[in-house]
Structure 1
């Protein structure tokens, strides 16, 4: 972690490069390198907050602040009219969290510990919610693809807004469920831990500052997306579903793996699956509502994105069934992610 702090120098470098309008590929590289150490700092502050507030709230805060970056990236892309990139980044975030982040967490943790255990009941609830969320994304697409265009009336445009309202309502109810009516379900036995190196106040301040800086760097990063697709011949789908989520969700990536390495699989899985749930039930509806200020964005994803989402969530439900994980399961998740990434790369 100390080595990563040397990369903080890329924060002023990336901003200067953006101000001087130098090569777009270099700005892309500098902004990405600036986000990586900021993600590490965010992970450290979240770990301290988890010590004071508990693993559940710690995982929730990390996913929330990490997804704030994703929301900022998607907002500027949407403002620029890059709706395909926005929807691809939403799908890519969910797929990346379930397959790549969770896979890396299980692999890294499994190499240190033969078998790791987690709260099966909690993960079952989150995995079931993910399945519902993906169904909510799938139905509008199936409706669009199966109904004749001549039968689609102007009222169809309100379908995305209606689905967004329902998803946001379910998200709020899930918060009530986990923090109030069934909070005992999320209580785990605390282990003896070393005292945190920061106070709670300092940890919160560091978390907020890191989030703001990640938001600034994300704005710089998203401005290089279109130039990068032209320079390197990449499709917007690949950039949206692979590159943007990896950079935008760097906070969750590093923190989840770090927690798994410390044998805190409850936090690692809560970050990976909880973040995916927030992307669908919170970030997506907010983006739908914000799009009404510019040009309304539909909630319809393309066929391959939906298939990848469905299979990812089915895998998550399968892994949650036994309450334990190992390094081989991590390798399997990463392998599926590579296959999906390769498929989008050749588009």
Structure 2
């Protein structure tokens, strides 16, 4: 987090660029760099509040705010009617967490330690949930495969997306109850060690609120510059949504996973990577579908390229993490698959 703080300078820079109506390319880059340290600050504030609230409420806060940056950026994209960007960012976040973050963690930790072990039981539960989530996204897409894509964001299919979103959100709530109540013994005691608060509760809450407000402002700048920026440099909005926005929104969380792996805490690294992916599909995606009802209803139907990438990512992650241990070569394999997918989306 410390090395990201130097990027705070881009907050005033982005505001000045917006007021000057500067090039959308510069505005996009400045707002993206400004969001990265703010996301890290939000996570740090949430951790501090968790110390005061206790592990159960703290876990809920971490689950809620873990992908808040992604949710805020997607909300403004949703408001602008950029449905392709929103759905691509959802798919990109899942793919990035499973392949890039988990892969980088396994690679970094594997270069320092020959073999690293993690809680296989937790991974099995998370992997099953992840597989369910991808199936939940795939069935509506297969069902509507022969339908004109222009009809998907209409009231005719609004009920399908809302129904799927409701079921996913319900599963998300049940998964929280499962992990924090009925089967909390399944999860290791590694997170239950006593931690002293560095901030007062008042300061933590104020920082969390302040960071959220500024992220909302920067997200509006970012989303507003997407269309003119992509036209100016020849990038597709699809590539921006599936590769760039997930990296921007989750940079701080990604670095935390790698640092945990370097400390030989692969349980935490795997939990961040897979757990964050689950939150995106089961929490962020349904919330965005519900919010879209305030503007233009957005379908939860993903295109074929996104679905294939999601399925491939989940299958290879299950295979690599199924034995409860990792090494650097497995990390390289995950990163390689991510690069192949990224190149493919860039060309598309």
**TM-score normalised to structure 2 length:** 0.89
In 2, distance between residues paired with 1:208 and 1:272?
25
1:295-345, Cα deviation, whole Å (9 max, x unpaired): 111111111110000111112222331111222211111111110010011
Structure 1 residues 332 and 82: alpha-carbon distance in aligned structure 2, compared to 1, 3 A threshold: same
Offset at residue 211 of structure 1 (A): 3.6
1:68 matched to which residue of 2?
Answer: 68
> Secondary structure of 1:223's match?
helix
- Structure-2 change in CA distance of 1:88 and 1:129 (3 Å): same
Output aligned runs, 1:155-170, within 5 Å: 156-170=157-171
Going from structure 1 to structure 2, the CA distance change for 1:237 and 1:171 (only over 3 Å counts) comes to: same
Match of 2:317 in 1: 316
Aligned residues: 345
- Residue 50 and residue 264 in structure 1: after superposition, are their counterparts in 2 closer, same or farther (change >3 A)? farther
Output the CA distance in 2 between the equivalents of 1:111 and 1:51. 32
Mean alpha-carbon deviation: is it higher for 38-47 or for 174-183? 38-47
Aligned to 1:99: 99
Distance in 2 between residues matched to 1:246 and 1:63, nearest whole Å? 18
**What residue number does 1:111 align with?**
111
* Separation in structure 2 between the aligned mates of residue 160 and residue 167 of structure 1, nearest angstrom: 11
Deviations 1:48-76 (A, max 9, x none): 56777788976764453241111111111
Provide closer, same or farther for how the CA distance between residues 130 and 293 of structure 1 changes in structure 2, counting only shifts above 3 A: same
User: What is the CA–CA distance in structure 2 between the aligned matches of 1:276 and 1:342, rounded to whole Å?
Assistant: 21
- CA distance in 1 between counterparts of 2:87 and 2:22 reads 29
Unaligned runs of 5+ in 1: none
* Residue 258 of structure 1 pairs with residue 259 of structure 2: yes
How do residues 80-229 of structure 1 correspond to structure 2 at under 5 angstroms? Answer: 80-146=80-146, 156-189=157-190, 197-198=198-199, 202-203=203-204, 205-229=206-230
2-side partners of 1:196 and 1:87: how far apart?
A: 37
Distance 1:48 1:319, change over 3 A: farther
Question: Are 1:271 and 2:272 an aligned pair?
Answer: yes
**Residue number in structure 1 paired with 2:26:** 26
Contact 1:59 1:267 in 2 (8 A): no
TM-score (norm 1): 0.89
